[in-house]
Amino acid sequence: MAYVAIIDYGMGNLRSIYNKLKKLGTNCIITSQLNEIEAAEKIVLPGVGNFKAAMEKLNSLNLIEILNKKVLEDKVPILGICLGVQLFCKHSEEGDAKGLGWIDAEVVRFRVRDQIKYKVPHMGWNDVKIINSNTLDKSIKSDDQFYFVHSYHLQCNNSQDIWMTTNYDYEFVSAVHRENIYGTQFHPEKSHNTGFELLKRFADL
């Protein structure tokens, strides 16, 4: 039976995303096994922590090749969350490390001007602005908010990849989308009903 594979590479709160998908009635597993990832109908790449360490973990578990195959060749839908979406990019300032390179973007640290008002990490609830809409955002309203916890954010080189932006002292990319690749800097699994609906739409793709 086809299922959603939540990638376990030792970095991230996997249980919260697993529980939310289960609540939706989704068949899902937490795995780092190549054969289980190969059989997956959809993939979620979560993550919390250091970019360079995360890429090293993916490499040590031999996950990069299978992820490239599933995403770039088989065109399986993938959702990256927080550090997960950052790993989609070409490079990160955090550890001066190369990413998976699926999205033409860099990951940079927040450079806020007002350091009293805008603390780093950016932590808490914030709204989003949809730049290039897709099927996952059809239920998002203008006053809906999502939960963020991050010190780094994406800078996209191709404006067509920008799905959503958020303002935190300045406007930054808070979600990206290209073909079968979806990624959010915020945590939909911690964002109550709005995040729940986004996850449902991903599971229903």
Tokens 């996209």: give the residue.
Answer: 156
Express each pLDDT in 85-94 by its tens digit: 999 999 999 9
User: Looking at the annotation, which residues are catalytic?
Assistant: 82, 187, 189
Tokens 């449902």: give the residue.
Answer: 200
**Residue 81 in tokens:** 């969350």
Question: For the chain, which residues make up each domain, given as ranges?
Answer: 4-203
Q: Sorting pLDDT into bands at 50, 70 and 90, what band is 83?
A: very high
List the beta bridge partners of residue 184.
81, 175
List the beta bridge partners of residue 43.
5, 78
Express each pLDDT in 130-155 by its tens digit: 999 999 999 898 889 999 999 999 99
Identity of the amino acid at 132: N
Model-level pTM? 0.96
Task: Tell me how far apart the alpha carbons of residues 127 and 173 are, in angstroms, rounded to a whole number.
Answer: 12
Tokens 């609540």: give the residue.
Answer: 23
Task: Tell me how far apart the alpha carbons of residues 6 and 18 are, in angstroms, rounded to a whole number.
Answer: 7
Helix (H, G, I), strand (E, B) or coil at 13: coil
Question: What class is the 4-203 domain?
Answer: alpha beta
